[in-house]
A and B are shown apart, each in its own frame.
Chain A
Amino acid sequence: MTIRAPEQVDDAASGSAQSRLDEEIGAGEQPRLQTVLLIEDDHELAHALALRLQGTGLAVARAHDGPSGLEKLRLLQPDLIILDLRLPRMEGDRFLRFLRMTPEHSAVPVIVITGASDAALIERVENWGISRLMRKPVSPKELLRAALDILQAS
């Protein structure tokens, strides 16, 4: 039996990274797919969630820390962001704060997924404006439903 490792996504902001991004999200295809940026530091979980989202025709780009999430945000202009709160190099709440303070991204809907129970952190995140809060373990199916709900409403 062959087990295929989850796809690895290069987080570097370079030309070659851009072409990989294009390949990842199916750039150049018409009509443009709605793009979801999934920022989750656990590669295996990100792979599973992306697999479910892609199954319904959404384009999914993945980032595994805050800075690479910001770079893909700039490159891709996603329609929806799925954001883990505990991220290396830049916590999710800082990412969200930056997002809301940047005019071109301030209205992008965000689904927060987290295993954290820190009420102060959650309150801080809610104050920055999120569309949905989902606690880990997140059901890929429920996440997909939430994503489609939000994309349809926006």
Chain B
Amino acid sequence: VNLKAALPSLETADHVCHELRKPMAVIHAYAELLADEIAGPLNEKQKGYVEIVLQSVQRLELMISDLFETSGVVSWAENRPDQPTTFAPELPLGESRASGEGGADDHGIDDNPRA
């Protein structure tokens, strides 16, 4: 499929990309909450099923990214590492409070907060 040719503009492509990712984000978020047992404990079979949902939504996300990549719509995410940024120097607004690196595990976030 030549998606780039089919799309009238990059703006439209971005909109399509965004609209596809919206329901995926909801599925991913709730599946992860279930997997982490935020909504209550799961038995082993339930954990397995939820894991399938999570893996599938991750595959779908990769497929969407690939689709837009191969069509020539460059995704910013692959080219822009998840790094903090600061204000542009010409802006007289002071410095932003960029995040520190690392230390995420120090917060004691547990996959299973009920444990």
Contacts and interface: CB of A to CB of B under 8 A. Distances in A.
B46 interface: no
Given A45-B26, A117-B14, A126-B85, A137 B61 contact: yes
Interface stretch (A8-16, A59-67, A141-149): A141-149
Interface residues of B, number: 52
Contacts of A148: 104, 107, 109
Contact of A145 (B77, B93, B96, B107): B107
B70 to A, nearest CB: 13
Interface in A1-45: 42, 44-45
Given A116-B18, A153-B100, 13 more contacts: A42-B25, A115-B17, A119-B74, A119-B76, A127-B85, A131-B96, A132-B82, A133-B82, A137-B27, A137-B57, A138-B28, A141-B111, A153-B99
Given A48-B33, A118-B14, A137 B25 contact: yes
A150 B76 contact: no
B21 A136 contact: yes
A95 to B, nearest CB: 15
A150 B18 contact: no
A74 interface: no
Contact of A146 (B36, B61, B99): B99
Interface in B50-96: 57, 61, 68, 73-77, 80, 82-88, 91, 93-96
A119 B21 CA distance: 16
Interface of B: 10-11, 13-14, 17-22, 24-30, 32-33, 36, 38, 57, 61, 68, 73-77, 80, 82-88, 91, 93-100, 103-104, 107, 109, 111, 113
Interface residues of A, number: 50
B87 A129 contact: yes
Contact of B24 (A49, A126, A137): A137
Q: Which 6 A-B pairs have the closest CB atoms?
A: A115-B21, A129-B96, A137-B28, A48-B29, A153-B100, A137-B25
A97 to B, nearest CB: 10
A122 B25 contact: no
Given A130-B84, A148-B107, A48 B91 contact: no
A135 B80 CA distance: 11
A90 interface: no
